[in-house]
Structure 1
Amino acid sequence: MRLFIPLAILAVCRTVCSGNYTDVAKFTPQLEMESDPSPKECRSYHSLTNSTEICHFVSSAEDCQMDEGFVNYIKFALCHVKPEMLPGVYVLYGTWLIYLFIALGTTAESFFCPALEFIAHNLKLSQNIAGITVVAFGNGAPDIFSAVAAFTNSNPSSSGVAIGALLGAGVFVTTIVAGSVAITTPFSLAQRPFLRDVIFYLAAVFWTYCLLYKGQIDLKNSLGFLAFYVVYVVVVLLGRYVNQKIRKWQSHEEGTEDPNETTGLLSNRENTNQRSSQDSSQEDWIAQPIRASHEHNREMRDRGINSDEIDSVHSDGSTVVYSASSKVWSLINPLAGTDWKEMSFPFKAIEVLQAPIKFLCKLTVPVVSADPDVNDWSRTLTCCHCVLSPMFCVFAAKVAFVKVGVMPLWSIFLIAGATFATLVWLTSSELRRPKYYWVFAYVGFVASVLWTYCVANEIVNLLQTFGALINVSNVIMGLTFLAWGNSIGDTVADVTLAKQGLARMAISACFGGPFFNLIIGIGLPCTIAIITNKGNPIEIQFTAVEQILVSSLLFSLAFSFVVVPLRKFQMTKSYGVLLILLYVVYLPIVILAGIHIIDW
């Protein structure tokens, strides 16, 4: 009877995916045990005893190569470090991994999200469209960029990291995070958004299972995932449109005014949050603001940077003395505006750890605020961005030394950047934004994408290294460390929302957010990888670990889909504890299966 219900779900899924509907009754759960690492896998070096042979193996084996990253961690550990010093390497790599997770959150939230928000504002997207696209992409940026880094990695086994992370994060968020929200504040769920998101999420996970069962992802299916999200967007917009019409009719009957939901993303955000706490029919995970999207604006206000920042003004207003250098330093100082007295020690430590990556990003990523009351313009700093941003992009993309004619690409970008910097200097002033300032938001978007992608690549490579060193599959590393690291922000944000009285929005995010990450995290990077690989499909392994992982996620979603309506959509502390217990049972089973202790 061990794990009977998940195995029953697995039996039905395997039968449907294979198309053999007559074998449902005959199915016996003989799951394919994850085999020992093949000779082609990097972790198979453990069968070797001689250090010279080990170094030769990791230098030549395709699975040990890390072309997308900047450091070959496995080669350094096994070729340049004495065996007795490996524990120190573990500590060093572990510390570096923690810092990379902090850097990933910093680049995504402090630079990528503000660029997304400004673009949504600049394109005059409505709240509905922006919520389903820009806000969702901004909040899921760490997961999606990690998936892009894994699927597009030249290492053939790296796709396991992405599969493990996307599905593992789904199990984590729908159990641990959702359970924590329910324990924090008992409440009643918004029925329509909850059922819609769970149904779509179940369908996406089942589709993923079918792809895993077949052992590959082709272009047709990767594009199908993206099309499936388009269908979801249409369903959401139609549902909100119909609901808005009903509310408008009810408001007309009651003689009250119906709030308008078609205004811009920024102008109506506070009203949206207020309405979402009062009306369950308007509760949606897509109604959340981009996580940390206002950090740039808050920093500017905390530092006192506004349109009145000057040294002195004559009484007639004719003469202004402006300190350009102090403005530049205030904009690039990563610790300026921090209220150290009000912060606890852990948050102080995080601020200090974020400082180096923030400083480098501020030098290379233009951040443009969509708030007209925030004056983040500096002619001097913008001219520096004109040179530094393209230079960073060309080196981050590893094309700096590609020659165009007789000139390397970095020199062409340097000349072009210096030319644009000169034009900006001649056509603008230090005191006010030029009309073309919005262009730098798109430059910042490209630079922040590259920053986030580079950091995500290093995380994926480090996790692959740890997996090889401790002889654990990439899927296990993805469903644990990568899933946990990328879900920390969701946990903090959703529990905070619950404490603020927005528990319905938080619980909706626990199902809608992972659905978006899964559907885009597979559809987008797989499409990119397949196209760049001349149309060849992505090969993926389907071992006992993947089977337990996907069946557990299906069971978790099906459990909530059945039990929550039976409980009349009431989320209580007891139900939250039950969700957490599901994860506590699932995690050791999948890990023990991955390290061959449990045999199926």
Structure 2
Amino acid sequence: MASLPYTAAACASVRADPAPGLLNYAAVHSCLLRADRRLSLPILALLLLLHFRFLAVAAGAHFSPAVSRLASRLRLSPSMAAVTLLALGNGAPDAFASAAALRGEGGLPRAGLAAILSAGAFVSAFVVGAVSLIAAPFAVPPASFTRDVFLYLVAASALFYIYLSAEIFLWQAVGLVLFYVFFVGLVFYMDLGAAGKAVSSAEPETTANGMGRAAMDLPVSVEHQKQRKASLWTVLTKQVTRVWDWPVTFLLKLTIPSTLPSEWNKFYICANICLCPLILLYSFSSFIPLDSRIVFLLPQIRFPLWSVVLLVSFCLALSHFRFEKESPETENIASTLISFVMSVFWISTMAGELLNCLAAIGVIMDLPPAILGMTVLAWGNSVGDLVADVALAKNGQPTIAIAGCFAGPMFNMLVGLGTALVMQTAGVYPKAFVLEFHVGIVVAFVFLLLSLMATLLVVTWARFRVPRFWGYCLMGLYILFTIVSIAIASSSG
């Protein structure tokens, strides 16, 4: 009972601060669990696993199929799908967060730049390594792969040069944004001649079917004995997984529309019509507050915006349930687009929740802020890219996944960071905006450039096939970068 005064003070302080996400993990520890580490750490670890599972299901069952179908319907090449669909889906939330940090005060500009570079190093090394280990060996288009890595290398080198000069002018910041526009235009121009080629998963499916037939032709006596011994454990594991996945799958089906006519369900479609507008409204709550009062139907009476959206969407869902009798005959591109948008929302939201939960665990375990910044924040900001790209690789789209590993971080650097730098330099024009020097940022630049140059050389040497051993090398390189960065952050503060 001696800990009650401390718990009451801690609870009051965390309740005074608004939660950065859906759940206030600090309040769970200080108020609900009375600051007891023996309860907080297991419960937060369980929530952490739930967030990871949520991310995996959202990316594997919804985001990856939506990207593949949109790319196929729009006849996008893997490169074009990466610089548009994947870059916007994976990069936009991180870009907005980093841009907000760069505009902040109290050391946040350095944190925003460090977050962009740490995320770039994580994706170009660890995520590329993970995709390589899952799908390698696989071939990449020589022209598009060389273009993506080389232009990312040029952009990072230019930003590194600007950073070493300790100042940036308005024309340089505008040039960063225009460079990404040039990159997208170049991708479109190079893919124009191959516009008839659609992204398809037919080849992976054929390979999988072939492997299945080959496996059926093998002698089954030994395998049958093994399966009989493991049958009880397999059934138990499947049941536990099904129970664990049911709430996640149910929630995602309520909020993400199915894109295939064979998966059509009237109840879930009506739930999508009712809930998707509310979720989209929530995602824009930083620009349009949910409780904004507007006049609706009744004059001189102002209703909260969320109630008006809920009423309209509920009426549309009710009418759909009443009049819609049969499933559509063909796939609807509008449903695929909405599925893509909602998948991006859930991946971004759950990545943020994962980040907040990791940060709360780090605070409870009394980890130094420097270690939290170089590990938890960097991993949390990029876990959406990791899950989405790995899901694409597992679904037989490693080419899109690899292209997204370079297009997404380039979008963050040139569009997210570049837009924030344009705002900063425009405020001090015609003078230059001063950049704060830190050795940790220089190290992040060096490791990012090293991983890009090494990947370009190794894949070119392997005749544009990604070898499996290179995945281990890239992961080792990122581990080395993390160790060096933590050592620098701990010593310099």
| Both proteins in one fold, TM over 0.5 | yes
Aligned to 2:91: 144
> Aligned letter for 2:294?
V
Secondary structure at 1:404 match in 2: strand
Q: 1:580 to 1:192 in 2, by over 3 A?
A: same
Q: How far did 1:356 drift?
A: 1.5
- 1:153-302 aligned at under 5 Å gives the runs 157=108, 159=112, 160-161=114-115, 163-174=117-128, 176-177=129-130, 180=133, 185=137, 191-209=142-160, 224-225=175-176, 227-240=178-191, 261-263=194-196, 265=198, 270=202
Structure 2 residue identity aligned to 1:100? H
CA distance in 2, matches of 1:179, 1:432: 39
SS at match of 2:368: coil
Which of 1 and 2 has greater Rg?
A: 1
* Residues 1:461 and 2:352 are matched in the alignment: no
Q: Select 1:513's aligned residue among 404, 422, 437.
A: 404
**Alpha-carbon spacing, 1:541–1:228, altered in 2? closer, same or farther (3 Å):** same
Deviations 1:199-250 (A, max 9, x none): 1121232245356667899997776555433322333344445xx6xxxxxx
AA paired with 1:471?
P
Q: Does 1:477 align with 2:376?
A: yes
Map residues 197-596 of structure 1 onto 2, 5 A cutoff. Answer: 197-209=148-160, 224-225=175-176, 227-240=178-191, 261-263=194-196, 265=198, 270=202, 352-369=243-260, 374-395=261-282, 397-398=284-285, 399-405=289-295, 406-425=302-321, 428-433=323-328, 439-466=334-361, 468=363, 469-473=366-370, 474-480=373-379, 482-483=381-382, 486-487=385-386, 490=389, 494=393, 509-510=401-402, 512-523=403-414, 525=416, 543-562=438-457, 578-596=473-491
Q: Quote the offset at 1:551 in angstroms.
A: 0.9
Could you give the per-residue CA deviations for residues 60-83 of structure 1, whole angstroms, max 9, x where no partner exists?
A: 7xxxx5554123333554576555
Match of 1:127 in 2: 76
Q: Is the 8 A contact 1:68 1:153 kept in 2?
A: no
Name the structure where helix makes up a greater proportion of residues. Answer: 2
| Cα distance in structure 2, aligned partners of 1:446 and 1:179 | 27
Q: Deviation of residue 138 (structure 1)?
A: 5.0
Amino acid of the structure 1 residue aligned with 2:182: V
Q: Is the 8 A contact 1:165 1:478 kept in 2?
A: no
> Bigger relative contact order, structure 1 or 2, given CA contacts below 8 A and separation 6+?
2
Partner Cα distance (1:539, 1:76) in 2: 41
CA deviations on 1:84-117 (whole Å, 9 max, x unpaired) are x235423333332232232223334433455555
Aligned equivalents of 1:142, 1:66: Cα separation in 2: 27
Q: Which AA in structure 2 matches 1:360?
A: L
- Specify whether residues 114 and 51 from structure 1 end up closer, same or farther in structure 2 by C-alpha distance, changes over 3 A only: same
Per-residue displacement from partner, 1:450-493 (whole Å, max 9, x unpaired)? 33332233233334434554123323323345546742564576
Distance 1:549 1:345 in 2: 45
Offset at 1:358?
2.0
Q: Match of 2:146, as an amino acid?
A: L
- Is the 1:147–1:522 contact (alpha carbons within 8 Å) kept by the matching residues of 2? no
- 1:357 CA drift (Å): 2.3
Q: Is this contact kept in 2: 1:226–1:524, CA < 8 A?
A: yes
TM-score by length of 2: 0.68
1:125-182 per-residue CA deviation (whole Å, 9 max, x = no partner) reads 2233xx33445555567742651573376887574555423332222234x3476479
SS of 1:401 mapped into structure 2:
coil
Tell me how far apart the structure 1 counterparts of residues 388 and 233 of structure 2 sit (CA, whole Å).
21
Q: CA deviation at 1:407?
A: 0.9
Asked if 1 retains the 8 angstrom alpha-carbon contact of 2:167 and 2:434, the reply is yes
- Assess if the C-alpha contact under 8 Å between 1:104 and 1:456 holds in 2: yes
For 2:244 and 2:89, the matched residues in 1 are separated by 18
2: CA distance, partners of 1:273 / 1:236: 28
Are the counterparts in 2 of residues 143 and 166 from structure 1 also a CA contact under 8 Å? no
Cα distance change on mapping 1:429 and 1:81 into 2, 3 Å? closer
Asked whether the 8 Å contact 1:202–1:557 carries over to 2, the reply is: yes
Q: Percent same amino acid at aligned positions?
A: 19
User: What is the Cα deviation at residue 359 of structure 1?
Assistant: 0.8
**Equivalent-residue separation in structure 1 for 2:177 and 2:155 (angstroms):** 11
Residues 1:164 and 1:352: Cα distance change in structure 2 (over 3 Å): farther
Does residue 69 of the first structure (1) align with residue 21 of the second (2)?
A: yes
Q: How many Å separate the matches in 1 of 2:161 and 2:34?
A: 45
Give the aligned CA root-mean-square deviation in angstroms.
4.9
Q: Structure 1's 438 and 583: CA in aligned 2 closer, same or farther, altered over 3 A?
A: closer
Matched residues in 2 for 1:273 and 1:232: separation? 32
Distance in 2 (alpha carbons) for counterparts of 1:444 and 1:188: 29
Residue 59 of structure 2 corresponds to residue 105 of structure 1? no
Q: How many residues align?
A: 441
- Compute the displacement of 1:516 (Å): 0.9
Structure 2 CA distance, aligned partners of 1:73 and 1:140?
30
Show CA shifts across 1:278-322 (max 9, x none).
Answer: xxxxxxxxxxxxxxxxxxxxxxxxxxxxxxxxxxxxxxxxxxxxx
Equivalent position amino acid for 1:487 in 2: L
Preserved CA contact (<8 Å) 1:119 1:442: yes
**1:163·1:478 contact (CA, 8 Å) conserved in 2?**
no
